[in-house]
Homo-oligomer: A and B are copies of this chain.
């Protein structure tokens, strides 16, 4: 497949770097202000080097990239809420040109799911978005393989930053502010970690899971979710939990009752108590008990594997 990649952050860059391993060609790459297009495949190394050194990926514009002759548009620009722009517009353009779209950007899937599905319906292109939930963990493809009708609920830990902070608070008896600063130093937490620690990021992911599980019967957006973050958990709450062989995790849930994200007590050695930046999803099934999938829920190469697995699922145009 010929890929055009929008977004030159960690995920976009990794898609560009790994696409060849999967047998695909990157023919265009854009960051927020510049673009590089080469129908024979861009020179990935020099384009990424230019990004590092000059802050631009090429002499063209992002619009050139959107207009290029790709099979698949990879939308990896930052997630935005509400109207989910400019990501939604990029998706709209590609689908109206009958091209496939693979999203790493959560906005269009969490905030405008119904419109997104309607656009895909009218297009010869398809839309896939495994990379929007749980990085490398195959969550949406597992739902699809197992059968959404067979899954009665999903819960788990889908934010690595919040999980790292809670793990460190519990392991070393440190308080929230201290561990957050450490996580920022380590690059685990972003400079502005608001969406990670206030539960928004996890909520967006469970909204997306709910949309997939409900198969269009009901549409969910962030405004349907009940969300509580980890900012106000005192360090001694984790000590108290540990005395009872439990710990605290930021648990998200997608059930027929709706989407919830909140800190919860879980057994210290239970499956939901993943440590560090590891993520886990647990499906409750109709006929087969619980099914757990865990792994790396974030990171450039990890998320790029989900993007490229989606690309591999798309039919030829």
Contacts and interface: CB of A to CB of B under 8 A. Distances in A.
A53 interface: no
B290 A302 contact: no
Interface in A274-317: 285-296, 299, 301-302, 304-305, 308-309, 312-313
B150 A305 contact: yes
A269 interface: yes
Given A138-B142, A145-B309, A295 B302 contact: no
A292 B278 CA distance: 11
A100 to B, nearest CB: 17
Nearest to A145: B141
Given A22-B147, A145-B141, A312-B147, A296 B289 contact: yes
A169 interface: no
Contacts of A288: 135-136, 295-296, 299, 301-302, 305
B271 A294 contact: yes
Contact of A292 (B14, B149, B295): B295
Contact of A289 (B138, B295, B304): B295
Considering residues A146, A285, A301, A308, which has the most beta carbons from chain B within 10 angstroms of its beta carbon? A146
Contacts of A135: 288
Contacts of A304: 287
A103 interface: no
A154 to B, nearest CB: 13
A227 interface: no
Interface residues of A, number: 38
Contacts of A73: none
A287 B15 CA distance: 11
A179 interface: no
A295 to B, nearest CB: 4
A266 interface: no
A289 B296 CA distance: 7
Given A285-B136, A289-B295, A309 B146 contact: yes
A18 interface: yes
A242 to B, nearest CB: 14
A307 to B, nearest CB: 11
Q: Which A-B residue pairs are the 10 nearest by beta carbons?
A: A136-B288, A291-B295, A288-B302, A287-B301, A141-B145, A269-B269, A288-B305, A292-B294, A289-B296, A293-B293
Interface of A: 14, 18, 21-22, 135-138, 141-142, 145-147, 149-150, 269, 271, 285-296, 299, 301-302, 304-305, 308-309, 312-313
